[in-house]
Structures are given as structure tokens and as C-alpha cells.
Structure 1
Amino acid sequence: MFEALVERGFQIEFQSHAQAILSVDFPEAIQELELALLATTIPIEEIIAGGGGEAKGTQRLRNALNNLSWPKTEFIVERRINGVPRESQSHEVDHVRTFPSGERVALEIEWNNKDPFYDRDLENFKRLHADGAISVGVIVTRGKKLHDNMRSLVRRFLDERQIQTFNDMKQWGYEPTSRQRRAIETKVGRAINPLSFRDAFTGQFVSDKFGEATTHWRKLDDRLRRGVGNPCPLLLIGLPDTIVTFHEGKEALAEVEAAETADSELDL
């Protein structure tokens, strides 16, 4: 199961019999997930220009899932006494696949949120599973290799584009905050063990945008070891560093710039 994903470096883990449930009851879900994930790429320029927020590549993954009938879904669970509603809870899940039988598989993508979002997702899955609303929960997140190799990916971008200054970064869609600029300048200009601009920028960018307190595989694994979400059957998918590409160049910025323009127009 998911052999093509594993071959490409994706991390795949199952909890609470999710593998058996998916293979027997939801083979279509397996095929659809593999189809969407194998097509997922994130140009390094999008990671840089996005400043660490959700990359356009993960938004394209969302669109691919939506096109495969995995839309955002709100679940409303009510408690009634003699037909009178007494309390209700709502749970919104970003992607839900509903099958003809009425059974559902729920999926959340955690590219680069604060790590407590895992608690929300896993507890939502647990409650929805207990209430019979879903059969399996899926979380797609940054895999261990992608998280651990983020510095080398950013540094490779700086080396290949011959980045030497903040002005060089500007042409690639990234402008640091005043705090980030001061921190980088301090590391470059210090008398003892000064860093090159590329080293200083890489360290600051990655620690600020993809730090240990964000959503990545180890933080998810910490929750699972504590039993968060148990006993909901879970499929966990870690995005590998192989999805990051380097050949798009300035063309990769077009989608980022278009999205920023659209957001600005909405704010007017």
C-alpha cells in the first residue's frame, strides 16, 4: 500500500488498524491520495517568497483533493432531550471523502502551523470517530527529512542564485522584518566568528519560519506516543524533501504574486 509514495520518500504510518480498514473498505481513497500526493511539488522559490506560510504547492494539493471529491466539511453533532436540542458541537475538517455507503475518511494538511494544531486535529478525529462520523483520520505534514533538510534546501537556493544581500532577496519576493534584518546584520558584522550573509540568512529564516514549534513529523509523533487521538484509526503521511524543486526560477513567483494581488484587492 502506497508503494509509489514510499519509493519517492514519503513517510507512511498507520495507527489503530487504519491499514486494514483502508485496504478493505476504502481502496478508492488509497488511489486518490496517492494520485494527488505524487503530483505534489513545491518550488523552493515559493517557500522563500511565502516566508514560511502555506506554500502554493500545498494549496495546489488542496485543490487536487477538492477535485477528487475531498471537500471541506463541517460536522455538527447535537445532543437532544425529547427532541429538543440541548447542546451541539461543530467540527470543520479541511478535506472529507464521503463514499456511497455513507462512510467517510477525513484529512487535514498541516504544512507549517503551530504544533498545537495537531492536538486540535487529533481530538477532532477522535470525537468524530466515536460519534460514527468518520472511519479513518488522515494527517499530511512535513516529513522528518523535509524538516531536517530545510536549512540545506534554503542554502542551496541562496548558493544557486548567488544571493549576497537583502536586495538580492527582494527580487525573489522576500523582504525580512526589521527584527530579522537586525539579527542577520548582527551575525554578519560581529567581531568574533562572523557569519557569511548566506549562513546568517539561512539560519534566521529557517528558525523563524520552520522552527521546532511548528507542525512537523516529530511533533506529531510526540502526540501519538502520548495517545492523543487514540483510538481513532489514523493514516499519517510525511511530505519528503524530494517534493521541493529548483528548476522553476522566476516563473514560480507568478502564482505567489497573483495570490498576493488577489488578497490585496479583497482587502480594499
Structure 2
Amino acid sequence: MFDTSTFDDPFVLDPVIRRRWAFIETSSAAAVLRSVCPNEWADIVHVLSSFELDPKQWLRAGGNRGDIAQVIDGMFSQRGWKETRVDLSTQGILLSKKLEVIERLPAVHQEGYLVDNFKGRVALDVEWNAKDGNLDRDLSAYRAWHEAGVISAAVLITQDRVRLKQLAETLWFDYQQTLPEAQRNSKLPIDLNTSTTTNLEKAALRVRRGVMGTCPLLIVAATPETWNGQPYR
């Protein structure tokens, strides 16, 4: 894996946004996106600068298509991104030494999956509370699409589970203090203890195994700095 950090370059990404989110990338993904896919990069930067983590939406059970994922997907949808299935079709062509076609082999069709957001040559998924097996599917697909020339880069938006768990516990404790003692419940309304859902740690573990090949991948994770500063109510 070509582990890079072009997102730290203020020419590539505004330092204000850099401080609000955690980033990991391969193959200079942020710089590639800015240079090769400037319109899509502008959309990504806009969403990252505009989105704020709202406890009312965040601390609510909802699975992988919960409120947070829907909000982020909606922000991209407003900028022309679409949920898209990407299939690949590969055909072998046998040529003679004189480059004359000898035979065209039957095409091999590979069915893809629905990417949350697709525009231009960029695939972007929001994996908030999905099963971590989704990461294997996403990353292998990104690599295949990049090697086939379909995409220039991929983006995965998720959460920094460890750091957000600490914030959630603080917000939930403060909220409980506003309730009558008989109504208090120390258990968080969502499970942030599980290690089987998608998060920054799980995604980083996979990409550091080298599963991306040469595909530029930018992983973006919400942190306590992404929080809107409001209490849970």
C-alpha cells in the first residue's frame, strides 16, 4: 500500500476541514481527486465543511441506513450524485502477430453492487453502522473498478468509533441528569461497543493489508470535532 497524507496539504484541503474529520488515504487520493476530479472534489469538500454531527440523529438506532447516512447521502444527492450499480464486462480478443483478429472470446460479466453515491469517475460510500463485511465488498470493488479504468478514486465516509464513543457517553450522561431519577437509563441508545460494524479502525486495518493495490482511496471519519456542539435532547 502506498500510504500518503496529501490531505494535510492546505493547498489540497482547507485546514479547518482537516481538523474536523479524521483522514486516511492511499496513493495520494486527496490530491488525485483535487487534480483529476475537481468538480467531484468540490462537492466532497462542500459536504465535509457543511455537515455537523447532530446528537438527535446520531444517538438513534437505525442500522447502516440510519439518519446520519441518509443526511450525508442527501447532501451528495443535492449536488448530482446518484446511487449507482457498477457492473463490469470483460472480453478477450485473440490477435495474430500481424494484429489480425483471430477470435473474440465470450464476454465475462461481473455484477457489481449499488454504490451509495457515484458521479463522474468517483465512487463514494457512507458506511456508518453497517456490518464490517461491507468494507470487504466496497474495497475490493473499488480496486476492480480502478483497474478496469472506471473510476479515478474512491471515498469512504465512516466514523471514528473510539473517540465518538467517549463523546456519546458524556452527552448521554448529561441528558440523563435532566430526567427524573426513576426514568434514568445509563445504557446508550445505540451500541458503540461492538467491533463488528464499520468504522475508521476497521477500514484502516483492511487498507493497511494492501488490499487497494494502486487505487487511490480516501477514508474520512467523523470525530468529536464534527459534532455540532449541541446537547442530546
TM-score category by the smaller chain? 0.7 to 0.9
Q: Which of 75, 89, 93 pairs up with 2:115?
A: 93
Alignment of 1:44-83 (within 5 A): 44-50=55-61, 54-80=65-91, 82=104
1:245 is displaced (CA, Å) by 4.1
1:116 is displaced (CA, Å) by 1.6
1:145 is displaced (CA, Å) by 2.6
Indicate the residue corresponding to 2:122 in structure 1.
105
Q: Could you tell me whether the CA contact under 8 Å between 1:147 and 1:216 is conserved in 2?
A: no
Alignment of 1:1-268 (within 5 A): 1-3=12-14, 4-7=16-19, 9-50=20-61, 54-80=65-91, 82=104, 84-98=106-120, 104-143=121-160, 145-159=163-177, 161-162=178-179, 164-165=181-182, 168=183, 198-199=185-186, 201-202=187-188, 205-206=189-190, 208=191, 211-245=194-228, 247=230
Give, in whole Å, the separation in 1 of the partners of 2:208 and 2:166: 20
Give, in whole Å, the separation in 2 of the partners of 1:19 and 1:216: 20
User: Which runs of 5 or more residues in structure 1 are unaligned?
Assistant: 99-103, 169-196, 251-268
State percent identity of aligned pairs: 22
Give, in whole Å, the separation in 2 of the partners of 1:16 and 1:114: 26
Indicate the residue corresponding to 2:96 in structure 1.
none
1:137 is displaced (CA, Å) by 0.7
1:163 is displaced (CA, Å) by 6.1
1:244 is displaced (CA, Å) by 3.5
For residues 44-84 of structure 1, what are the alpha-carbon distances to aligned partners after superposition, in whole Å with 9 as ceiling and x for unaligned? 22233435654423312101101112111111211346374
User: Which runs of 5 or more residues in structure 2 are unaligned?
Assistant: 1-11, 93-103
1:120 is displaced (CA, Å) by 0.9
Give, in whole Å, the separation in 1 of the partners of 2:127 and 2:192: 14
Give, in whole Å, the separation in 2 of the partners of 1:79 and 1:153: 52
Instruction: With the length of structure 2 as denominator, give the TM-score of the two structures.
Output: 0.77
1:247 is displaced (CA, Å) by 4.3
Give, in whole Å, the separation in 1 of the partners of 2:128 and 2:173: 20
Give, in whole Å, the separation in 2 of the partners of 1:52 and 1:150: 17
Q: Could you tell me whether the CA contact under 8 Å between 1:42 and 1:56 is conserved in 2?
A: no
Give, in whole Å, the separation in 2 of the partners of 1:163 and 1:126: 53
How many residues end up aligned between the 2 structures?
Answer: 209
Q: Could you tell me whether the CA contact under 8 Å between 2:72 and 2:126 is conserved in 1?
A: no
Question: For structure 1, which segment, 141-150 or 59-68, has the greater mean C-alpha deviation from structure 2 after superposition?
Answer: 141-150
1:11 is displaced (CA, Å) by 1.0
Distance 1:23 1:244, change over 3 A: closer
Give, in whole Å, the separation in 2 of the partners of 1:85 and 1:242: 49
Distance 1:115 1:88, change over 3 A: closer
Give, in whole Å, the separation in 1 of the partners of 2:34 and 2:200: 24
The one-letter code sitting in structure 1 at the alignment partner of 2:44 is L
1:32 is displaced (CA, Å) by 1.1
Give, in whole Å, the separation in 1 of the partners of 2:58 and 2:122: 29
RMSD: 2.6
